[in-house]
Structure 1
Amino acid sequence: MNTSPANRSPSDIQRRLVTTGLILGMGQAGFFDGIVLHQLLQWHHMFSGIKTDATVAGLELNTLGDGLFHLFDWFLLSLGITLMWQLVQLRVPLSTRTLLAAGVLGFGLFNLVEGLVDHQLLGIHHVKSGPHELAYDIGFLILNAIITASGWRLLRTSQKQTASSPQ
């Protein structure tokens, strides 16, 4: 890894830290969705909107979909950890606030995109199927829009704070 001074500019470090936080937040959001909504609450599986999980064949397909989703989440977290490790190796000050803000932003963005694409556009599943599935889907989108906006606001204030601090 090249750690020359040219690759250690504050703006480069800041950009890399934000990217790392976004990726870590996205991976955490995916695991949260998979663990809480798929496994603990058992509200849906990955493909329950197109193939029922009430049959053995349907459950097998949905379990496969859940596994592929978790594999993708694992990849995101592994990538985020690798990027964080590379940043730590630079031995420069890193802003915890920036990392956490970017993580919150990544968490919200992941669920916002997943909610729009999987629930609304493709209809492969809903947050909770049934007579009120649209209300659950809209609630999920609103909650994650709030999380996304909060992450964006935290990130903006963090970047202003970092820019005004002495280097």
Structure 2
Amino acid sequence: MQAHPQLILLSPVPLTTAGTVLGIGIGGFIDGIILHQILQMHEMLSNKIPATDYIGKSINMFWDGIFHAFCLIVTIIGIILLWQVSKRSNADHSGRLLTAGLFLGWGIFNLVEGIIDHQILQLHNVIEYAHNHQPANYLFLGISVVMILFGYMIIRSHHRSHHWPQV
């Protein structure tokens, strides 16, 4: 009888987790840098404290800094997790899983931030000085869901291509 080599399934969880955490941090940085700083569409508290004078701008800048400090901490945690994954022989090291995790994390960040900051606490809106805030706020949430679904579809496709049990 001929022995069949045992099929070794590499775990997708560690890399997907690291990618997701990195996606949360990087997604926050993209939001803060593009929407807050470059385009100045809103700032952290701009619906509560308009950034129309020096005091309002200064307060918003401080809270944008707190927001970016959070993003930095999450990104550092994601880098540490990614580094730990690189040392694991039982973890899948696929770039597809990392990409999926990044999309999942970025979408999760945007969805949570959009629901909490835009809808519940009403700290700011996607386009603060628009006549009607809700179309852009809802578009932001919709794009977030698409990003999450895209990440999930990449993971499912990767699972199927490796003949893993369906999750």
Q: Same fold (TM over 0.5)?
A: yes
Paired residue for 1:29?
27
How far the C-alpha of 1:160 sits from its partner, in A, is 2.7
Paired residue for 2:147?
147
Comparing 28-37 with 127-136, greater Cα deviation is found at 127-136
Q: Decide which of 55, 58, 66 is 1:57's aligned counterpart.
A: 55
5+ long unaligned stretches in structure 2: 1-7
1:116-142 Cα offsets, whole Å, 9 max, x none, are 110001000000022121111011111
Residue 121 of structure 1 aligns with an amino acid whose one-letter code is I
Distance across 2 between alignment mates of 1:159 and 1:117: 33
RMSD (Å) for aligned C-alpha atoms: 1.6
Query: Any idea what SS the aligned residue of 2:162 has?
Result: helix
Question: Identity of paired residues, percent?
Answer: 35
Q: TM-score of the superposition, structure 1-length normalised?
A: 0.86
1:55-82 Cα offsets, whole Å, 9 max, x none, are 2221111001100111111111111111
5+ long unaligned stretches in structure 1: 1-8
Paired residues for 1:123-142 under 5 Å: 123-129=122-128, 130-142=130-142
Distance across 2 between alignment mates of 1:37 and 1:81: 24
Higher helix content, 1 or 2? 1
How far the C-alpha of 1:48 sits from its partner, in A, is 0.4
Q: Decide which of 47, 65, 68 is 1:67's aligned counterpart.
A: 65
Paired residue for 2:111?
112
Q: TM-score of the superposition, structure 2-length normalised?
A: 0.86
Query: Any idea what SS the aligned residue of 2:109 has?
Result: helix
Q: Which has the larger radius of gyration?
A: 2
Residue 67 of structure 2 aligns with an amino acid whose one-letter code is F
Residue 62 of structure 1 aligns with an amino acid whose one-letter code is N
Paired residue for 2:86?
88
How many residues of Structure 1 are paired with residues of Structure 2 in the alignment? 155
Residue 99 of structure 2 aligns with an amino acid whose one-letter code is L
Q: Decide which of 12, 17, 22 is 1:19's aligned counterpart.
A: 17
How far the C-alpha of 1:163 sits from its partner, in A, is 4.2
1:98–1:159 CA contact under 8 A, matched in 2: no
